[in-house]
Amino acid sequence: MSKYFTLFILASLLFSGGQIFAAGPGPKDLGFNNGNNSNPHNLSSLSSSNIHAAAGGEDRICVFCHTPHGGDPQTPLWNRPDLALPDSSYPLYGGVVEIKTIGAAKYTNTDASIQYPNGASRMCLSCHDGVTAIGEVISGEIIDSSMTMSAAGTIDLAKSHPISFVYNSTVMGLINGRKTSTEYQMPPINSQAPRDSLERMQCTTCHDPHVNTRGVGYSLPFWRNYTGVEATDYSTTCDACHVAPPNNTGTQHNL
Structure confidence at residue 252 (pLDDT): 47
Structure confidence at residue 86 (pLDDT): 65
Structure confidence at residue 249 (pLDDT): 46
Closest CA to 10 of 81, 82, 84, 60: 60
Closest CA to 175 of 118, 96, 238: 96
Q: What is the mean pLDDT of each successive set of 10 residues along the chain, which is 255 residues long?
A: 48 46 73 93 93 92 94 89 76 80 92 91 87 88 80 76 92 86 77 84 92 88 89 83 57 46
Structure confidence at residue 58 (pLDDT): 93
What is the 3-state composition of the chain as percent helix, strand, coil, each rounded to the nearest 5?
Answer: 25, 5, 70
Q: Do 45 and 244 meet the contact criterion of CB atoms below 8 Å apart?
A: no
Q: Outline where DSSP puts E strands in the chain.
A: 165-166, 200-201
To the question of pTM greater than 0.75 for the whole model, the response is yes
Structure confidence at residue 38 (pLDDT): 93
Structure confidence at residue 233 (pLDDT): 87
Structure confidence at residue 24 (pLDDT): 59
Structure confidence at residue 16 (pLDDT): 46
